[in-house]
Structure 1
Amino acid sequence: MAGVFEPYGLSHGVVAVVFVAVSALLLIFRSAWTSRVLAIVIVAVQLPFQIHTMLPGQWDIAYSLPLQLCDLALIAAVWALWTHSPGASALTYYWGLTLTAQALLTPAYRGPDFPDWQFLMFWGIHLFTMWAAVHLTWGAGVRPDWRGYRLTLGVTAVWMVITLGFNAVAGANYGFLNAKPSGSVLDLFGPWPLYLVVAALLLAGVWALMTAPFTRSSR
């Protein structure tokens, strides 16, 4: 029986090594078919987990719906990998390399450790999204621009408004919009709802910095 996952423990360290190793392989062995193969792998691995969370005995309206921004980022990643859509690629890039990456730096997961399905689902969602962002941006050459930046800001704002309302009605906390997880970077941003404002402004600034180098080089 798996123990409980411990942030910065052995399994966390293995996950970090796997992330770096696979990212390097995606950049070294890139080809015309890598994007679609990665999209197929993501669906094949993650879809059964998502279906499992909706089965009787697992279903919980507060946890089972794919309303976390990381869930939406993975959906965008699959679409971007299959089509190289600039919009979906932008969402994958900005969400994947900032918000999703927080799981690797300050994981909020406190469930069973490897090889439990919850462990595999949690890290699959986050690692696959980050790998997709790395591949699309530096492997497939789908680079961010200011149009994608504005799109991501708009979609994120709409998601926040809808999810805040849903959380209030359902008694949920998708996106940590209604309460902070313990031990996260949000602890630095003050109480609710101040931390939401600070996080939104910080993201807008960080995403702008993530856009500027590509737009300068294109000019």
Structure 2
Amino acid sequence: MSWFHGRPNEIPFSFYGWEHWFAWVIFILIVSVLYIYRHWMRSKDLRKVEIVVALSLIGMEGLYHLWLFFIGSWDLRYSLPLELSSISVILAVLLLLFRKRIIYELLFFVGIAGALQALLTPVLTYGFPHFRYVHFFYTHMMVIWVALYFTWVVGYRPTIRSVFKSLIFLNILLPIVWFTNSWAGGNYMFLQTKPESPNLLDFLGPHPWYIISLEIVALVLFLLLWLLFRERSMTR
């Protein structure tokens, strides 16, 4: 079961190596399919597919926690679902199951912005075909695919109000996560320190100033996403 073990040195991840580019090819391919066949998909009843995708995300997250237990690494300091990626997966599952617009608004901005940054600069040590590699890219890609599916196929659209709803949502999360970090000794959402691997935070100043910089970056990214996908910029 080498694909499920806990030794990253045996299956290391190569930052922008072939396996990273392979994941990007798959990601772009599915995005293209969603966009090109959006009209065809609108004419189909895809409710069962939505449920299956939601269950797949639940199953993948369940396996991830099982894997952490398996390798003896489940810990309150870094295993709770308090990272943006985990929160985005929860939002994606809820959106697929309940189709609520408020959930879509949060997933669209928080999920896409966070997952794109994760895909560009993965905080990952396990390479293909390790389970953690599959889990990391599947969940991050699916967050974006689900948001785009509900935009292009279901017909939901982000609004300028949803930009600020998402920022408020993030700022409600911050003190909760900060308190949990202080209590458990964790570093959820990288509020205590930057990750060791190269990432966007390297360009945003030292701790804690990069947290303030992230607020500005989030606002800019959310506004760009709104401009790209707002109602009048899309062909229905």
Q: TM-score, normalization: structure 2?
A: 0.83
Distance in 1, matches of 2:51 and 2:33, equals 16
The residue number in structure 2 matching 1:147 is 161
The one-letter amino acid paired with 2:31 is S
User: How many residues are paired up?
Assistant: 217
* Post-superposition offset of 1:55: 5.7
The residue number in structure 1 matching 2:118 is 103
The one-letter amino acid paired with 1:187 is D
The answer to whether structure 1 residue 14 and structure 2 residue 22 are counterparts is yes
The residue number in structure 1 matching 2:72 is 57
Query: Does the C-alpha gap of structure 1 residues 44 and 56 become closer, same or farther in structure 2, counting only changes over 3 Å?
Result: closer
State the identity as a percent. 29
Aligned match of 2:144 in 130, 134, 154?
Answer: 130
Distance in 2, matches of 1:178 and 1:128, equals 28
* Post-superposition offset of 1:207: 0.9
* Post-superposition offset of 1:125: 2.0
* Post-superposition offset of 1:56: 7.7
The residue number in structure 1 matching 2:183 is 169
Q: What RMSD over aligned residues (CA atoms) do the two structures have, in Å?
A: 2.1
Distance in 2, matches of 1:87 and 1:10, equals 38
How far does the alpha carbon of each residue in 1:66-108 deviate from its partner, in whole angstroms, 9 at most, with x for none? 1101101011011112222111111111122211111111112
Q: TM-score, normalization: structure 1?
A: 0.89
* Post-superposition offset of 1:62: 2.0
Distance in 1, matches of 2:103 and 2:128, equals 31
Distance in 2, matches of 1:166 and 1:45, equals 24
The answer to whether structure 1 residue 43 and structure 2 residue 58 are counterparts is yes
Q: Is the 8 A contact 2:158 2:231 kept in 1?
A: no
Distance in 2, matches of 1:152 and 1:23, equals 23
Distance in 2, matches of 1:198 and 1:46, equals 30
The answer to whether structure 1 residue 81 and structure 2 residue 89 are counterparts is no
Query: Does the C-alpha gap of structure 1 residues 56 and 104 become closer, same or farther in structure 2, counting only changes over 3 Å?
Result: closer
Query: Does the C-alpha gap of structure 1 residues 213 and 184 become closer, same or farther in structure 2, counting only changes over 3 Å?
Result: closer
Query: Does the C-alpha gap of structure 1 residues 44 and 190 become closer, same or farther in structure 2, counting only changes over 3 Å?
Result: same
How far does the alpha carbon of each residue in 1:28-75 deviate from its partner, in whole angstroms, 9 at most, with x for none? 262431433432332233332234435682311222111101101011
Query: Does the C-alpha gap of structure 1 residues 16 and 212 become closer, same or farther in structure 2, counting only changes over 3 Å?
Result: closer
Distance in 2, matches of 1:136 and 1:209, equals 18
Query: Does the C-alpha gap of structure 1 residues 216 and 56 become closer, same or farther in structure 2, counting only changes over 3 Å?
Result: closer
The residue number in structure 2 matching 1:120 is 134
Distance in 1, matches of 2:87 and 2:214, equals 18
Distance in 2, matches of 1:75 and 1:49, equals 14
